Chains A and B, each alone.
Chain A
Amino acid sequence: MTAQITPPLAFEIDGLVKTFPVAITMLQRVRREPKRAVKALNGVSLQVAQGETLGIVGESGCGKSTLARCLVRLHEPDSGHIRYRGDDVLDLSGEGLRTYHRKVQMVFQDPYASLNPRMSVGQVLREALLVHNMRPRDKVAERVAELLDLVGLPVDAAERMPHEFSGGQRQRIGIARALALEPETLVADELVSALDVSVQAQVINLLLELQSRLNLTVLFVAHDLRLVRHISHRVAVMYLGSVVEVAETEELFRDPRHPYTKALLSAAPTIDPDQKTETTALTGELPSPLHVPSGCPFHPRCPVAIERCSRDVPLLLPRADGRLHACHLEEPVVS
């Protein structure tokens, strides 16, 4: 049953492809060697319901950050469609795009690099409010104070500079900046991975609280499986530019179906010293996204690969038991 999600939908993503060209040397140009490209997204299709938290997990190079950046149009995909509440996002321009940017906001990973070091926290928040005409000029200061209160920072934070804050507080500032525009959707790329363990929980609690208070849709991109499990309603697992499995969180963690999901879950260290595993979950390394393997991208490392896996690309389709994944070992249901 997990292949279905309840409408209304926030995002419908269909066949998204994004490649990045690789710089070639003068020698390669003289030899007329073909231009090469990294395939960061290799036909990603996903649906996100309004008000849900979708976790997106995977290892480095799997395309999870590229996907997040395509959704807020920091990257322009090569092909495919993104629909947001019915509108074709990639066709938006001018005022329509401006409104979209206001409704779909991003919070970045690095709280040190994502705030302008020369602007006070108040200036950062005021700029967002003024650019989007969120409040008349005389009401802006009041709104800045409200926003700081919303994310649990003291009002005098407005006068201070980013370097005066700790990592956790800076992430709160990043969240306040995103919320200044009263968005419907937050795209959070590794929101807490730069923070100390004891501080991570504070920011996660803030996110959970704000989401239920403001009825936000959240895309939570992260590599920490424990955190993703804790905050997501559903989880999408990515590998080398493809989504390999999507399921309700508890179902995914209890009964993963795709061999890569299984390996990923068993490689994550649990905090129970009695649950030690003796064998490694996966052998081999992640292939370079410059040379994505033929067929199923996971087949060279897959413990249960069959001959067909190196030939045919498996599609993310519902299987007989209602689960949604992309593995040849279970035949999809043809409707």
Chain B
Amino acid sequence: MTSAEPLLSIRNLNTTFHTNRGPLHAVRNVNFDLQPGEVLGIVGESGSGKSVTLRSILRLFQPPTQVRGEIFWKGEDVLKASRRRMLQVTGAEISMIFQEPMTALNPVLTVGSQILESLNAHEGLRGAAAVTRATELLELVGIPSPRERLAAYPHEFSGGMRQRAMIAIALASSPQLLLADEPTTALDVTIQDQILKLILSLREKLNMSVILVTHDLGVIAQTCDRVAVMYAGKLVELAPVRNLFTEPKHAYTVGLRLSLPEGGDSRQPLQPIPGSPPDVTNLPRGCAFAPRCAYVTDACREAEPELVQTSEGHLTACIHHAKLPVFGDGKA
């Protein structure tokens, strides 16, 4: 995996919002690579910077919000690219789908015209050829009677169908990377299951890479090859999915694992992480997780830990990674 040329490389990404209470460092020094065909999960709680990381890749932020660092898309730094060049990359080679399909779709345009718009802009398709392609796309995402559905408005679709339609729009430009920001959070569990399986099957068929942002460790376990864990704007652990669940190397990941109920020990107290996620405008010195951490020592409060490699492809920013428990075969 590591030998291949990465599709996307993120180096020292920092995204800062300017608020009334001063600068808010939503993403702090994030680094990762994405290989072709890979599904990378980014997991974290609200305010951890996972969505902001995704949106920074597409340059969806305008000044005064600052996005610093380097984002190499097939070797080219998109943060330095011209607006014009950027439009060829975003929306074409990289597509994004959002959490709320109702607010992300235009309510006064038919689903068909929204797909055609993307086909015109990115593929140069018009007329009958575009309609044929749009029908194929709706069929690809599993919408029944696709030809008729082109004329439907988003409000005529259910939540799951809207998410399928949004995926069809995202696929119109034949992207090599799909960014998915909590794509199933607003959906019911049986529909979530359908949408996740759809994304995985499209990855196979179209040889796409996917970055999936979610707060649900179950979704991560079921869909991702590798996982990045974020906390207070930092990437604190990066690991192949099985390693993350069997031998997490960051105290925060361990805390998340332990706070989840598992079958068999019903009605016993859970082991929550004390406190609540930190205020990113007012972070403590040293490790941001230290005030809530069960393994904290003075060293944690002094300097912010750097990411270190503990095994092949497994990085952690926890100085106590050797003390953390192992979760056996993953069925712990």
Where the two chains meet, the residues of A that have a C-beta atom closer than 8 Å to any C-beta of B are 53, 59-60, 166-169, 196-202, 204-205, 208-209, 223, 225-227, 229-233, 249-250, 253, 263-264, 267-274, 276-277, 279-283, 285-286
If the complex has contacts A197-B45, A197-B256, A274-B330, are A225 and B269 also in contact, measured as CB distance less than 8 A?
Answer: no
B276 interface neighbour in A196, A233, A273, Cβ under 8 Å: A196
Do A225 and B276 have beta carbons less than 8 Å apart? no
Chain B positions within 8 Å of A271 at CB level:
217-218, 221, 245, 257, 260, 262
B282 close to A (CB within 8 Å): no
Within 8 Å CB of B222, what residues of A? 269-270, 273, 276-277
Contact A229 B263 (CB under 8 A): yes
Task: Answer yes or no: B169 CB below 8 A from chain A CBs.
Answer: no
> How long is the Cα–Cα vector from A198 to B7 in the complex, in angstroms?
33
**B76 within 8 Å of A by Cβ?**
no
* Distance (whole angstroms) from the CB of B296 to the closest CB of chain A: 15
Q: Could you mark each residue 41-77 of chain B with 1 if its beta carbon is under 8 Å from any beta carbon of chain A, else 0?
A: 0000110000000000000000000000000000000
Which partner residue on chain B sits nearest A60 by CB separation? B188
18 A–B pairs (Cβ distance < 8 Å), ordered by A: A197-B217, A197-B260, A198-B255, A198-B292, A201-B272, A202-B272, A204-B261, A227-B261, A229-B261, A231-B261, A263-B190, A267-B189, A267-B193, A268-B189, A268-B218, A269-B192, A272-B330, A282-B193
Q: Check B215 for interface membership: any CB of A closer than 8 A.
A: yes
Partner of A267 from the list B192, B274, B292 (CB cut-off 8 Å) is B192
Contacts of A201 in B (CB 8 A): 259-261, 270-273
The answer to whether B45 touches A198, judged by C-beta atoms less than 8 angstroms apart, is: yes
Mask of B173-193 contacts with A, CB within 8 angstroms, 1/0 = 000000000000000111111
B235 in contact (CB, < 8 A):
no
B170 close to A (CB within 8 Å): no
Is A269 a contact partner of B216 (Cβ separation < 8 A)?
Answer: yes
- Contact pick for B267, options A198, A231, A268, A273, CB 8 Å: A231
Chain B residue nearest in CB terms to A269: B218
Find chain A residues with CB under 8 A from B274 CB: 202
A198 CB contact (under 8 Å) in B158, B256, B263, B265: B256
**Would you give the shortest CB distance from B277 to chain A, in whole angstroms?**
6
Contacts of A225 in B (CB 8 A): 189
Q: Is residue B194 within 8 Å, beta carbon to beta carbon, of the partner chain?
A: yes
A204-B277 Cα distance, complex, nearest whole Å: 17
Contact A273 B193 (CB under 8 A): no
Known: A200-B259, A270-B222. A59 touches B190 (CB 8 A): yes
Cβ–Cβ contact A285 & B191, under 8 A: yes
Docked pose: A204 CA to B265 CA in angstroms: 14
With a cutoff of 8 Å between Cβ atoms, the chain A residues found around residue B330 in the complex are 272-274
Least Cβ distance of B40 to chain A in Å?
Answer: 14
